[in-house]
Protein backbone atom coordinates (compact mmCIF):
# COMPACT_ATOMS: atom_id res chain seq x y z
CA UNK A 1 0.00 0.00 0.00
CA UNK A 2 1.42 3.38 -1.02
CA UNK A 3 2.31 5.74 1.82
CA UNK A 4 0.28 8.93 2.01
CA UNK A 5 2.43 11.95 1.16
CA UNK A 6 2.73 14.72 3.74
CA UNK A 7 4.00 18.18 2.77
CA UNK A 8 7.03 17.65 5.02
CA UNK A 9 8.10 14.82 2.71
CA UNK A 10 8.80 17.27 -0.13
CA UNK A 11 10.11 20.10 2.06
CA UNK A 12 12.35 18.76 4.81
CA UNK A 13 15.66 16.92 4.51
CA UNK A 14 17.83 14.73 6.70
CA UNK A 15 20.45 16.60 8.75
CA UNK A 16 23.27 14.81 6.90
CA UNK A 17 21.94 16.30 3.64
CA UNK A 18 22.16 19.81 5.09
CA UNK A 19 25.59 19.62 6.72
CA UNK A 20 27.83 16.60 7.18
CA UNK A 21 31.42 15.86 8.13
CA UNK A 22 32.62 15.83 4.51
CA UNK A 23 31.29 19.33 3.95
CA UNK A 24 32.75 20.45 7.29
CA UNK A 25 36.25 19.27 6.28
CA UNK A 26 35.93 20.90 2.85
CA UNK A 27 34.50 24.19 4.14
CA UNK A 28 37.79 26.18 4.45
CA UNK A 29 38.75 25.16 0.92
CA UNK A 30 35.22 25.93 -0.23
CA UNK A 31 35.53 29.54 0.94
CA UNK A 32 38.62 29.96 -1.25
CA UNK A 33 36.82 28.28 -4.17
CA UNK A 34 33.87 30.65 -3.71
CA UNK A 35 36.13 33.73 -3.74
CA UNK A 36 37.91 32.52 -6.89
CA UNK A 37 34.62 31.84 -8.65
CA UNK A 38 33.22 35.24 -7.66
CA UNK A 39 36.31 36.82 -9.25
CA UNK A 40 35.75 34.76 -12.40
CA UNK A 41 32.13 35.93 -12.62
CA UNK A 42 33.29 39.56 -12.44
CA UNK A 43 35.95 38.90 -15.08
CA UNK A 44 33.52 37.22 -17.49
CA UNK A 45 30.97 40.02 -16.91
CA UNK A 46 33.58 42.58 -17.97
CA UNK A 47 34.62 40.50 -20.99
CA UNK A 48 30.97 40.14 -22.05
CA UNK A 49 30.92 43.84 -23.00
CA UNK A 50 33.25 43.09 -25.91
CA UNK A 51 31.88 39.63 -26.80
CA UNK A 52 29.13 39.67 -29.48
CA UNK A 53 25.78 38.40 -28.23
CA UNK A 54 26.01 35.35 -30.48
CA UNK A 55 29.32 34.40 -28.86
CA UNK A 56 28.10 34.66 -25.30
CA UNK A 57 26.56 31.20 -25.32
CA UNK A 58 30.07 29.72 -25.70
CA UNK A 59 31.67 32.02 -23.12
CA UNK A 60 28.80 31.27 -20.75
CA UNK A 61 29.35 27.51 -21.06
CA UNK A 62 33.03 28.11 -20.36
CA UNK A 63 32.19 30.09 -17.22
CA UNK A 64 29.68 27.46 -16.15
CA UNK A 65 32.42 24.86 -16.30
CA UNK A 66 34.68 27.01 -14.12
CA UNK A 67 31.81 27.31 -11.63
CA UNK A 68 31.70 23.52 -11.33
CA UNK A 69 28.28 23.19 -12.98
CA UNK A 70 28.10 20.11 -15.19
CA UNK A 71 25.16 19.58 -17.53
CA UNK A 72 24.14 16.37 -19.29
CA UNK A 73 21.16 16.30 -21.68
CA UNK A 74 19.25 13.61 -23.54
CA UNK A 75 19.31 15.84 -26.66
CA UNK A 76 22.00 17.94 -28.29
CA UNK A 77 21.77 21.72 -28.08
CA UNK A 78 21.15 21.83 -31.85
CA UNK A 79 18.25 19.38 -31.53
CA UNK A 80 16.81 21.35 -28.60
CA UNK A 81 16.97 24.54 -30.68
CA UNK A 82 15.09 22.78 -33.48
CA UNK A 83 12.27 21.28 -31.40
CA UNK A 84 11.84 24.09 -28.87
CA UNK A 85 11.04 27.06 -31.12
CA UNK A 86 7.76 28.69 -30.03
CA UNK A 87 7.14 26.18 -27.26
CA UNK A 88 6.66 26.39 -23.51
CA UNK A 89 9.19 24.21 -21.70
CA UNK A 90 7.81 23.21 -18.30
CA UNK A 91 10.29 21.99 -15.72
CA UNK A 92 10.50 20.92 -12.14
CA UNK A 93 12.44 23.29 -9.86
CA UNK A 94 15.32 21.75 -7.88
CA UNK A 95 17.82 24.50 -7.09
CA UNK A 96 18.80 28.14 -7.44
CA UNK A 97 21.18 27.12 -10.23
CA UNK A 98 18.48 25.69 -12.51
CA UNK A 99 18.61 28.66 -14.86
CA UNK A 100 22.34 28.26 -15.39
CA UNK A 101 21.74 24.73 -16.68
CA UNK A 102 19.27 25.86 -19.36
CA UNK A 103 20.50 29.26 -20.60
CA UNK A 104 22.56 27.89 -23.50
CA UNK A 105 19.98 25.70 -25.28
CA UNK A 106 17.81 27.12 -28.06
CA UNK A 107 16.76 30.76 -27.73
CA UNK A 108 15.55 30.67 -24.15
CA UNK A 109 13.45 33.17 -22.27
CA UNK A 110 13.21 32.21 -18.61
CA UNK A 111 10.31 33.07 -16.35
CA UNK A 112 11.33 34.55 -13.01
CA UNK A 113 9.40 35.27 -9.84
CA UNK A 114 6.05 33.97 -8.59
CA UNK A 115 2.70 35.42 -7.67
CA UNK A 116 3.46 34.97 -3.97
CA UNK A 117 6.97 36.39 -3.69
CA UNK A 118 8.19 39.82 -4.58
CA UNK A 119 11.69 40.48 -5.84
CA UNK A 120 14.47 41.21 -3.39
CA UNK A 121 16.73 44.20 -3.96
CA UNK A 122 19.50 41.90 -5.15
CA UNK A 123 17.42 39.71 -7.46
CA UNK A 124 17.04 42.11 -10.45
CA UNK A 125 20.81 42.65 -10.49
CA UNK A 126 21.44 38.89 -10.50
CA UNK A 127 19.12 38.36 -13.46
CA UNK A 128 20.66 41.32 -15.32
CA UNK A 129 24.09 39.79 -14.75
CA UNK A 130 22.91 36.42 -16.09
CA UNK A 131 21.47 38.11 -19.19
CA UNK A 132 24.77 39.89 -19.73
CA UNK A 133 26.80 36.70 -19.30
CA UNK A 134 24.64 34.38 -21.40
CA UNK A 135 22.79 36.50 -23.95
CA UNK A 136 19.53 34.86 -22.81
CA UNK A 137 16.48 36.77 -21.58
CA UNK A 138 14.38 36.73 -18.44
CA UNK A 139 10.80 37.87 -18.12
CA UNK A 140 8.92 38.51 -14.91
CA UNK A 141 5.86 36.47 -13.94
CA UNK A 142 4.16 39.81 -13.26
CA UNK A 143 4.99 41.28 -16.70
CA UNK A 144 1.63 40.45 -18.27
CA UNK A 145 2.13 42.88 -21.15
CA UNK A 146 5.55 41.43 -21.97
CA UNK A 147 4.22 37.87 -21.90
CA UNK A 148 1.26 38.80 -24.11
CA UNK A 149 3.65 40.44 -26.58
CA UNK A 150 5.82 37.32 -26.60
CA UNK A 151 2.92 34.99 -27.38
CA UNK A 152 1.68 37.38 -30.07
CA UNK A 153 5.10 37.33 -31.76
CA UNK A 154 5.00 33.52 -31.68
CA UNK A 155 1.62 33.46 -33.40
CA UNK A 156 2.92 35.82 -36.08
CA UNK A 157 6.03 33.65 -36.57
CA UNK A 158 8.26 36.62 -35.79
CA UNK A 159 10.12 34.97 -32.91
CA UNK A 160 11.49 31.43 -32.55
CA UNK A 161 12.34 31.63 -28.85
CA UNK A 162 11.09 29.26 -26.15
CA UNK A 163 9.76 30.05 -22.69
CA UNK A 164 11.13 28.08 -19.72
CA UNK A 165 8.76 27.83 -16.76
CA UNK A 166 9.67 26.41 -13.33
CA UNK A 167 6.06 25.32 -13.00
CA UNK A 168 6.15 24.43 -9.31
CA UNK A 169 6.93 28.10 -8.61
CA UNK A 170 9.07 26.92 -5.70
CA UNK A 171 11.95 24.51 -5.06
CA UNK A 172 11.28 20.92 -4.00
CA UNK A 173 13.67 18.62 -2.12
CA UNK A 174 13.83 15.96 -4.84
CA UNK A 175 11.35 13.60 -3.20
CA UNK A 176 8.18 14.82 -4.90
CA UNK A 177 6.77 17.58 -7.08
CA UNK A 178 4.64 20.50 -5.99
CA UNK A 179 1.52 20.98 -8.10
CA UNK A 180 2.27 22.72 -11.40
CA UNK A 181 0.86 26.21 -11.91
CA UNK A 182 -1.26 26.18 -15.10
CA UNK A 183 -0.93 29.93 -15.76
CA UNK A 184 1.11 29.96 -18.98
CA UNK A 185 0.55 26.46 -20.35
CA UNK A 186 -2.84 27.01 -21.96
CA UNK A 187 -1.89 29.47 -24.70
CA UNK A 188 -2.31 27.17 -27.68
CA UNK A 189 1.39 26.32 -28.04
CA UNK A 190 3.08 22.95 -27.56
CA UNK A 191 4.28 22.24 -24.04
CA UNK A 192 7.50 20.26 -23.59
CA UNK A 193 7.91 18.66 -20.15
CA UNK A 194 11.46 18.80 -18.82
CA UNK A 195 12.70 16.53 -16.04
CA UNK A 196 15.75 17.77 -14.15
CA UNK A 197 17.89 15.78 -11.72
CA UNK A 198 20.67 17.24 -9.61
CA UNK A 199 23.66 15.53 -8.00
CA UNK A 200 25.76 17.58 -5.57
CA UNK A 201 29.14 17.11 -3.96
CA UNK A 202 29.07 15.34 -0.59
CA UNK A 203 25.38 14.39 -1.08
CA UNK A 204 24.10 17.68 0.36
CA UNK A 205 20.62 18.96 -0.43
CA UNK A 206 20.57 21.81 -2.95
CA UNK A 207 18.08 23.97 -1.05
CA UNK A 208 17.73 23.51 2.74
CA UNK A 209 14.14 24.29 3.68
CA UNK A 210 14.64 27.24 6.04
CA UNK A 211 17.78 28.70 4.47
CA UNK A 212 17.83 32.12 2.83
CA UNK A 213 18.30 32.51 -0.89
CA UNK A 214 21.72 34.19 -0.88
CA UNK A 215 23.16 31.65 1.59
CA UNK A 216 21.83 28.77 -0.52
CA UNK A 217 23.30 30.21 -3.73
CA UNK A 218 26.75 30.78 -2.19
CA UNK A 219 26.68 27.32 -0.63
CA UNK A 220 26.14 25.72 -4.04
CA UNK A 221 28.83 27.82 -5.70
CA UNK A 222 31.43 26.78 -3.14
CA UNK A 223 30.96 23.05 -3.79
CA UNK A 224 33.51 21.26 -6.02
CA UNK A 225 30.76 20.46 -8.52
CA UNK A 226 27.05 20.02 -9.09
CA UNK A 227 25.70 17.91 -11.96
CA UNK A 228 22.42 18.41 -13.79
CA UNK A 229 20.86 15.61 -15.82
CA UNK A 230 18.18 17.09 -18.06
CA UNK A 231 15.63 15.12 -20.09
CA UNK A 232 13.30 16.79 -22.59
CA UNK A 233 10.18 14.65 -22.92
CA UNK A 234 7.75 14.44 -25.88
CA UNK A 235 5.71 17.58 -26.51
CA UNK A 236 2.15 17.68 -25.18
CA UNK A 237 -0.97 19.59 -26.24
CA UNK A 238 -3.95 20.57 -24.15
CA UNK A 239 -7.06 18.61 -25.14
CA UNK A 240 -10.30 20.43 -25.87
CA UNK A 241 -12.05 18.92 -22.85
CA UNK A 242 -9.16 19.62 -20.46
CA UNK A 243 -9.19 22.49 -18.03
CA UNK A 244 -5.89 24.41 -17.66
CA UNK A 245 -5.27 22.76 -14.26
CA UNK A 246 -6.05 19.27 -15.57
CA UNK A 247 -3.54 19.83 -18.36
CA UNK A 248 -0.94 21.13 -15.91
CA UNK A 249 -1.53 18.05 -13.74
CA UNK A 250 -0.94 15.81 -16.77
CA UNK A 251 2.32 17.59 -17.56
CA UNK A 252 3.35 17.33 -13.90
CA UNK A 253 2.67 13.59 -13.94
CA UNK A 254 4.83 13.14 -17.05
CA UNK A 255 7.76 14.83 -15.31
CA UNK A 256 7.17 12.96 -12.03
CA UNK A 257 6.96 9.59 -13.81
CA UNK A 258 10.28 10.24 -15.56
CA UNK A 259 11.88 11.17 -12.24
CA UNK A 260 10.28 8.26 -10.38
CA UNK A 261 8.80 10.50 -7.66
CA UNK A 262 5.19 11.39 -6.73
CA UNK A 263 3.29 14.28 -8.29
CA UNK A 264 1.59 15.85 -5.27
CA UNK A 265 -1.29 18.28 -4.98
CA UNK A 266 0.61 20.57 -2.60
CA UNK A 267 1.12 24.09 -3.97
CA UNK A 268 3.63 26.85 -3.40
CA UNK A 269 1.05 28.50 -1.14
CA UNK A 270 0.90 25.34 0.98
CA UNK A 271 4.69 25.44 1.28
CA UNK A 272 4.63 29.05 2.48
CA UNK A 273 2.08 28.16 5.16
CA UNK A 274 4.07 25.10 6.24
CA UNK A 275 7.35 27.04 6.38
CA UNK A 276 5.72 29.66 8.60
CA UNK A 277 4.40 26.96 10.95
CA UNK A 278 7.84 25.29 11.18
CA UNK A 279 9.52 28.61 11.99
CA UNK A 280 6.91 29.44 14.62
CA UNK A 281 7.36 26.00 16.20
CA UNK A 282 11.14 26.50 16.38
CA UNK A 283 10.67 29.91 17.98
CA UNK A 284 8.26 28.54 20.58
CA UNK A 285 10.75 25.78 21.49
CA UNK A 286 13.66 28.20 21.87
CA UNK A 287 11.58 30.74 23.83
Q: Where are the domains of the chain?
A: 15-286
- Report helix, strand or coil for 77: helix
- Residue 213's nearest CA partner among 149, 104, 281, 127 is 127
Contact partners, residue 194, CB within 8 Å, separation at least 6: 89, 90, 91, 92, 164, 230, 231, 232, 233, 255
- pTM, rounded to two decimals: 0.90
Instruction: Find how far residue 279's CA is from the centre of its chain.
Output: 25
Contact (CB, 8 A) for 70 and 225: yes
Tell me the pLDDT tens digit for each residue of 178-220: 999 998 898 889 999 999 999 999 989 888 888 888 889 999 9
Tell me the pLDDT tens digit for each residue of 243-267: 999 999 999 999 999 999 999 999 9
Tell me the pLDDT tens digit for each residue of 26-85: 999 999 999 999 999 999 999 998 888 778 888 999 999 999 999 999 999 889 988 999
pLDDT of residue 180: 96
Amino acid sequence: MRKEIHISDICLSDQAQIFNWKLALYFPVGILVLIARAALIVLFALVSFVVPERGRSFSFRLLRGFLGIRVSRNKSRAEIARVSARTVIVSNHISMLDALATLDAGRPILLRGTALRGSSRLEPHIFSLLERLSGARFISYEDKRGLASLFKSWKEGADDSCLFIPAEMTINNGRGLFRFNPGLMSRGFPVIPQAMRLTTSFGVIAHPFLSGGLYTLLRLLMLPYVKFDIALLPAMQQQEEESPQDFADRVQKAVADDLGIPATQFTVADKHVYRRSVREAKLSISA
